[in-house]
Each structure stands twice: as C-alpha cells, then as structure tokens.
Amino acid sequence: MSGGEHALESRLLKTGSERLALLGRHADVLMQAYTRDEVPLESLSDSALRKLLAARILWRPDEQSGVKLAPKVRELIAEMLADETRRHVNADVAETLELIRALVHSYREARSRGEHWRLEQQLMRLRQEVDDLNGRFADAIDSLWQRLNSDFGFVSQLNDKIRENDRAQKQIARLLDGLALIDFDELIELVGSDGGLRKLLISQLQQQLSHHYTSLREVQRRLIELMARFRKQQARSRLISGMAAFMREHPGFVPGNYARRSEVPGLVNQAAPLSAAAAPALDRNLDSRLLADLLHQLPQPRHTTQTVEAAAPAQAQESSLAAARQQALKQDVEHFYLSVIDQPQAEPVSALEYLHASPLEWPDEIWLFQVISEYQGLPRSDQKAFRLKQQESQASQFNHLRLIHDVELQLAV
Amino acid sequence: MIEHGPLLERLLAGEFVCPISDESGYRHLTNEETREEIDTYLRPLNRRLASNEDGSVYFLAWRQLNDNARDQLSRQLGDTLNSLLPLLEWLQLVQEALGRDTLAAPGDVLKPAEFSAKCEDNQSLRERLERLATDSFFGSQSDQLDAQVKQVFKRLKEHGYLLQPHSERQVFVVTGKIDYLVDLVRFIRDEENLPIEEGSEEGSGAQEALL
C-alpha cells in the first residue's frame, strides 16, 4: 500500500466526518427545511451556508430561487423518520447491474495482474453494491409494509388512501420489473470459477432476492385486497348519500311491493319473530321437585299480618245500606246528566227544578252536592262538553263565604 | 342441535346474527352442515336460514310464502321504508360529525358522548340532529341534546343496528345489520332504476390521466 493512497484515505475520512458533523450542528435548520419548502436563511451564518452548500447538503436550483435541502438528504431524513409520505423507492436495478459488471471485470484484471490491494478494494465495493441492492429492496419492502399495516394512516381522506395505494402498487410493479432484470445465468457466466464471487453474487444474492420476491408478491396481494376494501367503502358511502338525497328530493317515493311478487327477493324475505315461551309444568316428578326447590328459594313475601275480626252483621248491614244509597244517588244524578244531553236546543236545566219535578226524594243539599261532584269526577275532555253554572250569593258582607242555591247544567255546543 | 339452542332462539326472535352480535353463533353458521341442521329444524315452523349476499349476516326467512307471510312482509317492508331515510341520515350525520370519510361499518365503536360533543360545537350538525331525533322513528320528546342523542342510540340498539356490550357503559358497536341495510338500499336502487351513482370516480380518473 503506497503512502499516497494512505494520504488519500485519511483526507477522505477527515472531510467525511467534518461534513457529517455539519448535519448534527445544523439539525434544527435542516429539519425546518425538511418540513418547509426552503431553508430559513436568517438562522444560518454565511460561512455555515457555504459549508453546507459545499457538502451538497443544501443546494440552490438557480439564482432566483431560495436554498433547498438536497434530494439525498431529504431522502435520508425520510428514511430515518420512516416518513411514509416522502419515503422514496429506488428500483433502479439496471444501473447497479451495470456497475457490478464493471467491478467484476476490474476485479478480474486486478487478479490477473496480481494487484492485491486493488483486488481487495474491488471486492469490497462489490460487496457494498450487493448490500446496497439488497438494502434498497429491503427498505422498499419495509416502507410498503408500514404503509399497508397503517391502512395508509398518514393520509386521512379515502381518496388520498386510494391514490397512495395506487402509487404503492406501481412501485411494486417497478421493483418486480427490477428483480426480473437480474439474470442469474448471466451472473454465473460473469463470475466464472471464482469461489468468492460465486458466493457473493450467486448463492447469497439469489437467496436474498427470492426472499424479496416472495415479500413483494405478498405485499402486492394485500395492497390489492385493501384497495378493494377502500373502493367498497367508497361505494357504500356514495350509495347511502345518493339514496338519502334522492329520498329527500322525492318525499313521495314508494318502491314496489316486493312482497307481492311471484318471486319474493331473498333480501326482503324476513320471517316474523317468534318467541319460544315456557311456563312451569308439574307433570313430571323430577321437575316438580326442582320447581318446589325453586319455590323455596324465592324470597319470602313480606305480608303484614292481618287480624281477622269477628263479623259484626248489624254494622255490615248498615254500611252496605249506605253504599247502596250512595250508588242510587249516583245513578239518579247520571240520569239527570242524560236528560241534559237530551234537551232540545241545549237549554240549561236547573238541578233543583229537575229534582222537584221528578218523583225522587233526595234532600236538596245532597242532590246539589252530588251533581257538582259528578261534574268534577268527569274526565277533562268530557267536562268540556258541559257547562255548569252555579247560582250563588255571598253569605255575609264580612267574609267571602258564598252559598250555592242551585246549579244549572247545560250542554256546551 | 342442543348446543345451538341459544342461537336458534335468537334467530327465531328475529335477530340478525353477525360476528359482532354473536361471534360463536356466527362461526357455527358459517359451517354448511350446521346450517342444514338448523334448516331441517326450522322446516315445521315454515322458516329457513337466510343471509345477505356477502354472508356477513344471517337471519330467518319464510320457507313458504303463503298469504299470511306476504301480509307480514308487506307490513314489514312498509315499516322499513318509513325508517329508511332517518337511518340513512343518521349514518351520514355520524360520518360527518366524527369527520370520517367512510360509513359506519360493522365493528366500529361509537360513543354517544363524543357524538354529542361534536354536535354541540356545530350549529348545523346540532340542527340536523334535532330534526332527526324528533322524527317519529327515533321519537325523542326532549329538547336537550344529550337526551336526544341517548334516544337515537337507544332506538338503534332496539332495532339491532347497534350493540351495547356493557349496559352501564355508554359505548356502542355497529353490527352487521348495517350491511343488510346497505344491501337493501342497493337492491331498491337497482329495482327502481334510481339515478344514484355508486361506482368509483372512473370518469375523473380518466380525465386526470388525460391531463
């Protein structure tokens, strides 16, 4: 290994770490640039800006436009954050294959010339390229799974989800196309008999790629399923809002009576409910015992003890007599009400005049009392059918006691 | 058949059996042998097992459509149609109030409190809810928002569109009967040739491609 090569390597290392450190030093500004369109220049000094531009962390598309984040850095941040809205799928396999072919040729040259150090370098770069290729597929597949598993949760609208799903399916198609470009027959020929290359480019790569292929097919299947679900949801939502709008616009809309058709559609054929009722039955010995047990388990009803008093016939007779008289009075008053209903022209009828004209022998006071209470006992709707007018006078000028002399009942027309 | 007793009872009572309303019952019904057994049992009752097109919900249908059955179906169809618009408007209201772009689907969890809160903040939603709650299908007598929402959820539960897993908690789950309702709407649209679009925006997609 020559001294010049040593110097080159150490210079690369030094510049690389310096520039990587820039990322950390200006992390806040860079993240602001990531979320916005342009880099907020006010928070950067001139020299810092120059360094960031030199490191190609930032770039200026043209003189007029502002300073922006370099695409690779944006990609790096998106990758680190697993930010699915911006994660990028790079399926450019052709370019990598081209590079691998060139590296293999240059590796062979180095071997034939016995340049040991170059041989090592080429092998390392080959290994890196294969890892890169592998990593790109693994990353893309990871990103696709993330989006799938979150039901495209990073966008809220169904239409956006459908568009994202569509985009993801196109990415898969590109990745699969990329995989198809890798022709193992060609690679076998390319590596020839070299054991190390064979292991790296054939057995290892083949195993990894076939794993990616299976994963991609699985994601693709799931994406298509999810898309069908999205479309179904969209269709349902449209159907319901369409029907609701139609019914609002056509309030008199009545569909056909499907139940009267000769062939009743399956969907509207819904049988009437039946309840499977059961009651305790005592016609089986075994059950009777069980029922008896259940009966014993019931909580004791709390009856207050009732003393059975000795019958007192005279008293009972008297009270039943009173009840009978009360009933007779009520009936007579009801007849009075009926006669009021029968009045032609709905003329008012005086309760006392009716009583005196009839063969009834109730005291005036009791009669009036029952007529009034009958009126008050009527349901409100029936009360409205009658008008009860009381003839009354003030008992004395010293208080508000009023005496009722008579009442007149009239049909309210 | 003994192990299917409770399931049969639910079906006979007119319930719709879906994975949400009765998970194990529904699982049994996905087995063709069980379905045949149940059908045989139902034969003397003039009933048979039926499902919607997707098979996401099972219910009982008349086996023979005699006059009585047809009378009953006509009445039932009338009831369903009377409740159709309020149900569709409720579905739209839920979708808008909760800021979703999809309809409530079986398994979705709905909380009356969340729904009230959204309606409280938005006058237009509030008015629509008021109109809906006082519709004869929901029949709320109250002018209080919470009471109206409660009544709406109660009626939807009675009709089997919602399930309340814990009676003391105000959390509801949408059942598969919603699928049946959507199928019925689609059926009516097709039968009556109603001018209602359902398909995706193929037209505008093609336009985008042209642009």
Q: Tell me whether residues A256 and B191 touch, CB distance under 8 A.
A: yes
Backbone angles phi, psi at B49, to 5 degrees: -80, 135
* Interval A361-411: pLDDT, tens: 888 888 988 888 888 888 888 888 888 888 888 877 777 788 888 888 888
Compute how many other C-beta atoms are within 10 angstroms of the C-beta atom of residue B57.
26
Q: Tell me whether residues B12 and A273 touch, CB distance under 8 A.
A: yes
Residue type, A38: E
Distance CA B46, CA B57 (A): 20
Number of inter-chain CB pairs under 8 A, A vs B: 134
pLDDT, position B210: 38
| pLDDT, mean over chain B | 87
Q: Tell me whether residues A268 and B77 touch, CB distance under 8 A.
A: yes
Which residue, among B158, B145, B157, B70, has the nearest Cα to B113 in the 3D structure? B145
pLDDT, position A84: 67
Nearest CA distance, B184 vs chain A (angstrom): 7
Structure token digits, residue B211:
């642009």
Question: In the predicted model, what is the mean pLDDT of residues B54-82?
Answer: 91
Nearest CA distance, B60 vs chain A (angstrom): 6
Q: Tell me whether residues B88 and A244 touch, CB distance under 8 A.
A: yes
Distance CA B51, CA B74 (A): 19
Q: Which of these ranges, A196-200, A326-330, B204-208, has the smallest mean pLDDT?
A: B204-208
Distance CA B186, CA B103 (A): 15
Kindly give, in sequence order, each residue whose CB lies less than 8 Å from that of residue B121, ignoring residues fewer than 6 positions away. none
Residues of B in contact with A156 (CB under 8 A): 101
Q: Tell me whether residues B101 and A237 touch, CB distance under 8 A.
A: yes
Of the two residues A308 and B88, the one the predictor is more confident about is: B88
In this structure, the dihedral spanned by the alpha carbons of residues B94, A241, A244 and B80, taken in order and rounded to 10 degrees, is: -70
Residue A85 has pLDDT above 50, yes or no: yes
pLDDT, position B90: 93
Question: In the predicted model, what is the mean pLDDT of residues A52-67?
Answer: 83
- Give me the residue from B50, B61, B189 closest to A243, CB to CB: B189
Which residue, among A138, A134, A127, A145, has the nearest Cα to A93 in the 3D structure? A134
CA atoms within 13 A on the CB side of A127: 8
Q: Give all strands of the β-sheet with B162-163 in edge-to-edge order.
A: B109-110, B172-174, B162-163
| pLDDT, mean over chain A | 84
* Interval B97-125: pLDDT, tens: 888 878 888 999 999 999 899 888 888 89
Question: In the predicted model, what is the mean pLDDT of residues B134-162?
Answer: 91
* Interval A160-184: pLDDT, tens: 888 889 988 988 988 888 888 888 8
- Give me the residue from A236, A239, A274 closest to B196, CB to CB: A239
Residues of B in contact with A247 (CB under 8 A): 84-85, 88
CA distances from A362 to A318, A367, A371, B68 (A): 19, 6, 12, 60
pLDDT, position A254: 86
Report the percent of chain A where pLDDT is more than 70.
92
Nearest CA distance, A330 vs chain B (angstrom): 40
Distance CA A31, CA A320 (A): 101
Task: Map tokens 């919603």 to a residue.
Answer: B178
Say if residues A129 and A106 touch (Cβ distance below 8 Å): no
Say if residues A269 and B65 touch (Cβ distance below 8 Å): yes
Three-state secondary-structure class, residue B47? strand
Q: Tell me whether residues A242 and B102 touch, CB distance under 8 A.
A: no
DSSP run (H or E) holding B134? none
**What's the angle, vertex CA A228, arms to CA A227 and CA A233, rounded to 5?**
95
Distance CA A88, CA A78 (A): 8
Interface test with B, best of A249, A267, A275 (most B CBs within 10 A): A267
pLDDT, position A3: 63
Residue B206 has pLDDT above 80, yes or no: no
Say if residues A323 and A387 touch (Cβ distance below 8 Å): no
Which residue, among A100, A107, A105, A167, has the nearest Cα to A134 in the 3D structure? A100
* Interval A243-281: pLDDT, tens: 999 999 988 888 888 888 888 888 889 899 888 778 877
